[in-house]
Structure 1
Amino acid sequence: MERRRIDRAPVGGIAEARPRSLGAASIRLPLLWLKAIFTPSARFFAAEGERATWGLVWIQILLLVLIPGVLAFLRSLDRSAAARDATNSQAVGDLLSALTVSTTLVGIIAQVLIVPLLFFFGLIVEFLIARAFRGQGRLVWQGHAALLYQVPLAIISSAISTLFLAIHLPLAIRLSLYPIISVALFIYGLFLNIVAIEGVHRLTRGRSTLVVVVTYAVFALIIILLLVVLARAIVSALHTT
């Protein structure tokens, strides 16, 4: 029934949904993010997916790097101040402070390259798997739909980490709470992924779930293969020394 509703709804039809101008679409992003994470539905992702443009996808990728990056930099400033206060030596304190900030900046710069690469790699893999399950969507639709929930979830995760540090929550409590919150956000992200695939590709909930499960199974297999190759390289290097 859900698949029929998506296919027949005027807002989900290819002929009905019209891409907005890039400026208008960008202004609406915060509202779309809220809808994606608080009132997600296959109909919503179907309609918004069909309005997608590559320009809007790249704007969201930029925000995916920029906003968490700024929050990470703010956290590094707090840590650098703590590192300076933790030592009695002004020189050592300044060195630790500079090291903390510079390490964070290097990490942010690396994310500018890594985040888009990982996003498009995961997007293409999941798109091909969805197509194998007779999905009907386009790559740009799926990319836009995915970012509609990935960006706000990343912002929420980074904001929580920044808040914990800002209110000087004890380290033991942070180490206990943050992993739980991260796992909860990850699981909710999986659910949103399923709903987005269901809407964008006009698949049933069952097939959409299989698409996501198979995608993560492929990712797990790739990681295992990379770890095996790395382990063999390390063992080989140790034997030659």
Structure 2
Amino acid sequence: MEASASSKIPIGYKFHPTDEELIHYLSCKANEEPLPCQGVVNDVFDLYSKEPSELFEGSEEKILYFFTKLKKKHEKGSRINRVTRIGNWKGQDKAKDIKDGGTGNAEGEERVIGMKRNFTYYVKSDPKKSGWSMTEYNLGGTNLKRAKIKDYVISQIKRQKQTEKEKEDAMEVAATGMQPPAEACNAIIEAIKPEVSVMRHKVTEPMVLQPEDCNDWLNDFAKTISPESRRNTREY
């Protein structure tokens, strides 16, 4: 579970920060200063080493916030690597400035304090949107210049919305007693073990599939496999 259980927000309250407030949290983190509230923004050393569903494991929240450090694709380059094991986060727009509203100086002029950019998560084997979305917050302006650690960001990730097809699959599971898609996929893989070709997907080592990997082909595939064939057949 990535979501922290140590939040000090009083019962009955929710963490619903503005863009400017998130930049304040990020500035505190980047300068190794105490955070306004502990546990509401989770620390993840490498956000992109995990799939979105793993980040939400054990949490019922629809939105979670994470501190992470950006990694470059190449040491001397400027492009950021946002590729996960089975997918990647693709930018949906250009970075937008976040301003302080003129409260940070005597002249009352708005200053850029940070930036934000929106991303959508795609599974490599499926060109359709997965439903997971992320807004990435970076320091900017004088905040970035004075930061001790400049590669920290805050990632706001929204939980995947259930599609109509997934709702239909869930209703079928409830009606027939079948396992949920991801569990069923993994049960099949566990039964037939490595070196099996499953619908042109070569499995070379034990793996865990997410529901978004299974929904497109599980139902048709599962119906063709009997318990005996799972034990005795190595390639389908």
TM score, norm. by length of structure 1: 0.19
Structure with greater helix percent: 1
Question: Does 1 or 2 have the higher relative contact order (CA < 8 Å, sep 6+)?
Answer: 1
